[in-house]
């Protein structure tokens, strides 16, 4: 199995679900607030905010919580000003890792991320030290209830590059410049997607063994456990046998 989604599937089956739910809510609230501050409070006129609301609904966030986060961002009531930062480095097994964060304290976040890499035996690099190993793409995800053939045809007409089945999801990818147009056109035809965002997609994946996989997954979990970290992307490839043993 390749890519970060398989790691997330394993982690979602482990640990305290209430704690993870609270972490997810914290991250989404930050994104809602930042999106509302950076654009209109109306999701129809603010694509980033619309994507954040989709994520909030997917996480079963209460409507009043969503509304309060948007109000804080658009009304200036929130004194916290989150800054978008990206960190890049190498984890166990030479796996390239990209970390996207929203933080009100760059020094704190950088220290936490650097410590996580060091503890895992990896190292945090300079800006753009690993991003060349990834493609920046738009990704729109629909559930299995959406007919694949119909979605494929509509995605091609909308200007998407590819449509894949990943687990139970239908995943549409496109160029970053086409992301908003593709997402909006598919949303009008099939309803709101289960996820829609810009992602870092590995150009190739680095095969790793069990020991490196275990250490890497601990690193990824530590990073995602940080309230400041919004997204983590990695270019690992782990055999099905190793994944099965790690998830047992």
Q: Please report, in angstroms and rounded to a whole number, the separation of the first and last CA atoms in the chain.
A: 16
Give yes or no for residue 5 having a pLDDT over 60.
no
Give yes or no for residue 188 having a pLDDT over 70.
yes
Give yes or no for residue 246 having a pLDDT over 50.
yes
pLDDT of residue 18: 54
Same domain, 141 and 226: no
Same domain, 193 and 172: yes
pLDDT band at 77 (very low <50, low <70, confident <90, very high): low
Q: What is the pLDDT of residues 151-163, one digit of tens each?
A: 999 999 999 999 9
Same domain, 40 and 159: no
Q: Where would I find the beta strands (DSSP E) of the chain?
A: 83-90, 96-103, 123-124, 134-143, 162-166, 169-174, 195-202, 206-207, 229-234, 236-237
Percentage of the chain surpassing pLDDT 90?
Answer: 57
Give yes or no for residue 171 having a pLDDT over 60.
yes
DSSP per-residue letters across 47-83: HHHHHHHHHHHHTT--HHHHHHHHHHHHHS------E
- 44: domain CATH number? 1.10.10.200
Instruction: Note down the domain range covering 125.
Output: 83-131+204-247
Instruction: Let me know if 23 is exposed, middle or buried by CB neighbors in 10 A (0-12, 13-18, 19+).
Output: middle
**Averaged confidence pLDDT in the chain:** 86
pLDDT of residue 10: 43
Q: What mean pLDDT is predicted for residues 168-196?
A: 92
pLDDT band at 16 (very low <50, low <70, confident <90, very high): very low
- 217: domain CATH number? 3.30.70.980
Give the range among 1-15, 38-52, 136-150, 151-165 with minimum mean pLDDT: 1-15
Same domain, 127 and 211: yes
Give yes or no for residue 11 having a pLDDT over 60.
no
Same domain, 147 and 173: yes
Same domain, 166 and 124: no
Same domain, 94 and 65: no
How many Å apart are CA 22 and CA 230, to the nearest integer?
Answer: 13
Give the range among 30-44, 70-84, 210-224 with minimum mean pLDDT: 70-84
Give the range among 9-23, 125-139, 185-199, 204-218 with minimum mean pLDDT: 9-23
pLDDT of residue 82: 86
Total domains in the fold of the chain:
3
Give yes or no for residue 1 having a pLDDT over 50.
no
Q: What mean pLDDT is predicted for residues 67-84?
A: 79
Q: What mean pLDDT is predicted for residues 157-180?
A: 93
pLDDT higher at 227 or 245:
227
**The pairing of beta strand 206-207 with beta strand 236-237:** parallel
- pTM given for the model: 0.82
């Amino acid at each position: 199995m390749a890519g970060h989604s398989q790691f997330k599937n394993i982690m979602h089956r482990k640990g305290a679900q209430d704690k993870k739910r609270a972490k997810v809510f914290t991250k989404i609230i930050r994104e809602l607030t930042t999106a509302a501050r950076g654009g209109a409070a109306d999701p129809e006129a603010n694509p980033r905010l619309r994507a954040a609301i989709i994520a909030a609904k997917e996480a079963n966030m209460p409507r009043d919580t969503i509304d309060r986060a948007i109000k804080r961002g658009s009304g200036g009531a929130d004194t916290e000003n989150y800054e978008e930062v990206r960190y890049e480095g190498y984890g166990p097994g030479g796996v390239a890792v990209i970390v996207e964060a929203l933080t009100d304290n760059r020094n704190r976040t950088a220290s936490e991320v650097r410590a996580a890499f060091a503890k895992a035996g990896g190292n945090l690099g300079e800006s753009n030290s690993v991003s060349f190993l990834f493609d920046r793409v738009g990704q729109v995800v629909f559930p299995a209830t959406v007919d694949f053939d119909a979605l494929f045809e509509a995605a091609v007409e909308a200007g998407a590059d590819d449509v894949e089945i990943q687990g139970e999801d239908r995943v549409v990818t496109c160029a970053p410049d086409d992301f908003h147009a593709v997402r909006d056109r598919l949303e009008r035809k099939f309803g709101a997607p289960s996820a829609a965002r810009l992602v870092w997609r590995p150009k190739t994946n680095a095969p790793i063994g069990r020991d490196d996989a275990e250490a890497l997954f601990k690193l990824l979990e530590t990073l995602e456990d940080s309230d400041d970290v919004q997204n983590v992307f990695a270019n690992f490839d782990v055999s099905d046998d190793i994944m099965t043993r790690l998830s047992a």
